[in-house]
Structure 1
Amino acid sequence: MPVLTVHSAGPGVTVQDLGRPGWTAQGLSRGGAADRLALLEAAALLDHDTGLAVLEMAGFGGVFSTDRPLRIALTGALMQASIDGVPVPPNTSQLLAAGAKLTIGGARAGVYGYLAFAGGIVTTPVMGSRAAHLTAGLGRALVADDILPLGGDPAPDTPPRRLDSTDRYSGGLIRLMPGPQTDLFDDATLARFLSTSFRRDPRGNRQGVRLDHDGAPFGVASGLSITSDLIVAGDVQLTGDGVPYVLLAECQTIGGYPRIGTVIPADLARTAQAAPGTVLQFTLLDIAQADATAQSDADLLRTLRQACQPLIRDPHDIADLLRYQLVSGVTAGDDLEQDGDGTQG
């Protein structure tokens, strides 16, 4: 069985998959990748299914190697990466040779980067998932000298691929759907919320991110007390001081703060990938409009697979260029000595 060696790791490198659905009633949120789309992009590049387990890197990567040649994929935040000094472009698959050092630095855009391996990370599942859920005490962040088991690459000779990714790192307009407490906010408060430009605060983690804004705080009419009820990732919760938080993968499962709406799943990755200082603004869809954006993981993966293209590599960056056959035909070498009529000159 191939293994991954962690030579160094940033403070937020964890194993993640699509999480643990079905445990909310027991007090455990789904968890899983903060940017689910990035995980599915990696699965598409590597011809894997939705059960792929990967490394999630929050802000900074590390140095990694494998003991067998394996294809890898880098998706999510745009992070500086190289294999033995040769740059690795984002949103691509590459062959990582046995013993080669893959170095992943800081994020140039976005927050969460993903490193996937063909065959996936095959640590022992806990409650149906390999994902670390740090809030719940399941798993932990990786550190230097950790060794993880990997699945075998079923097709190591597959040529490198690329996948054009939508820009979800620069913030912008985020779509909300109404929640059970949206009607508790009067029309003026809701209109002001939707017209406000928020800035991603430096305070945030896999539980949620705080949004700063200029102006008065937000609150429900008459300061109504809210009975604690179900919470899901994407809920926009307003704390007692009137500051909004967008809840992410490791959010709590119940809460009593009012929620003005819920970020639709299609836009939650854009929210998670917003670096501190990024500007976000919200628009409110009705239920029918929100439902029209819904797409299953399987359907999205199918679409992403169809969008994968061969990676055209820059010859300047191909250290093993001479290993490739660049001319499809072979001649005796005397064809250049022939006249235009095909006779020997």
Structure 2
Amino acid sequence: MTAVQISRADGILTVQDMGRPGHLAEGLSRGGAMDRCALLEAAALLGVNAPCAAIEMAGAGGEFSVTAPTRIALTGAPMSATLDQEPLQWNASHLVLPGQKLRIGGARAGVYGYLTPAGGIATDPWLGSRAAHLNIGIGRTLAPGDSLPVGDDPVPERPAHGFVPDARFEGGTFRVIDGPHTALFSDEVLEAFYTTAFRRGARGNRQGIQLDADARFTSAHAKGLASDLIGPGDVQMTGDGVPYILMSECQTVGGYPRIGTVLPSDLPLVAQAAPGVILQPRRISLEEAIATIRSEAELLRDLAGRCAPLVRDPATIRDLLSYQLVSGVTCGDDLERV
């Protein structure tokens, strides 16, 4: 079986897919990729009909090779990438051959980059998913020397494709709907929260991300709340009024008050916010939120329509003169001799 081999790991590398939904009753949150949109983008670039397991690279990538010709997609936070020292376009698919060295550097913007083989990482699934869930000990971070099996490429003849992603790597506005505890906060606190331009705090991981501001957002009615179900996107207020947005590996129950819930479609923007980047909440109604809902199949279809065959820039082709660019060259006197 084809394998992706890791010879260097510079960031926090894990295998991630779309996670394990449906196990809250067993105390297991969904998990999966922090930027789910990046896996949909990879599927569109590779021409496959569903997202597959990828290598999630937090902060930086590393050095990789393959044991057989393998198509890959590079999506998510843009990172410098080279194949045998030749630059590769991000947000594009590429063919990697045995013996070639794929090097992926640090994130130029955002946090999480993704390396997705066309056949998907084919490690043994657990509860229907291959995703590492570090918070509860499912899987582990990847390390030099690891060799990851890759499934069969369903369309190996597909040429390289690229596309321009939606902007989500420099922060911005994220939408929030009211939650079960919104009414516990005074109108003054709610107004302050929604008019604050937060900085993505220094504290954050796959479990949650801190929003940092000079103000605090407390409620006199928050004490003694019974713990209940929580999930990705919930905005919890700690006892001292610091907001945290819960992410893919969050706990399944909690007792901190929740001022609202971030729309799932905006969580990739939150996940990709590097520390210090500005994040601005915007309150919307439930009706507005419902109107934005789209299935992953619809999103994948739209992304596929935005992909186009990749055209290489001649300025980046070092061995350009070795290619047969013209043929049938003559002295130019053909018609005269005829």
Cα deviation for residue 323 of structure 1 reads 7.0
- Whole-Å separation in 2 of the counterparts to 1:172 and 1:94: 30
Contact 2:199 2:211 in 1 (8 A): yes
Cα deviation for residue 92 of structure 1 reads 0.5
In the alignment, what sits opposite 2:29?
Answer: 29
Give SS of 1:110's match. Answer: coil
Contact 2:34 2:112 in 1 (8 A): yes
Alignment CA distance shift 1:70-1:319 (3 Å): farther
Cα deviation for residue 145 of structure 1 reads 0.3
1:283 aligns with 2:279: no
In the alignment, what sits opposite 1:259?
Answer: 258
Count of residue pairs brought into register by the alignment: 338
Stretches of structure 2 lacking an aligned partner (at least 5 in a row) = none
- Whole-Å separation in 2 of the counterparts to 1:72 and 1:318: 20
Contact 1:29 1:251 in 2 (8 A): yes
Cα deviation for residue 118 of structure 1 reads 1.0
1:344 aligns with 2:337: yes
Give SS of 2:202's match. Answer: strand
- Whole-Å separation in 2 of the counterparts to 1:322 and 1:126: 50
Cα deviation for residue 326 of structure 1 reads 3.9
Give SS of 2:56's match. Answer: strand
**Which amino acid in structure 2 is aligned with residue 83 of structure 1?**
L
- Whole-Å separation in 2 of the counterparts to 1:274 and 1:36: 14
- Whole-Å separation in 2 of the counterparts to 1:56 and 1:93: 16
1:9 aligns with 2:2: no
- Whole-Å separation in 2 of the counterparts to 1:89 and 1:67: 22
220-229 or 164-173: bigger deviation:
220-229
Cα deviation for residue 60 of structure 1 reads 1.1
Alignment of 1:1-345 (within 5 A): 1-215=1-215, 217-319=216-318, 321=320, 326-327=325-326, 331=328, 333-334=329-330, 336-338=332-334, 342-344=335-337
RMSD: 1.6
TM-score by length of 1: 0.94
Q: Percent identical across equivalent pairs? A: 54
**Which amino acid in structure 1 is aligned with residue 211 of structure 2?**
L
Contact 2:92 2:162 in 1 (8 A): yes
Per-residue CA distance 1:159-179 (angstroms, 9 max, x = gap): 211011011011111100111
Cα deviation for residue 50 of structure 1 reads 2.4
Give SS of 2:98's match. Answer: coil
**Which amino acid in structure 2 is aligned with residue 269 of structure 1?**
P
Cα deviation for residue 51 of structure 1 reads 4.2
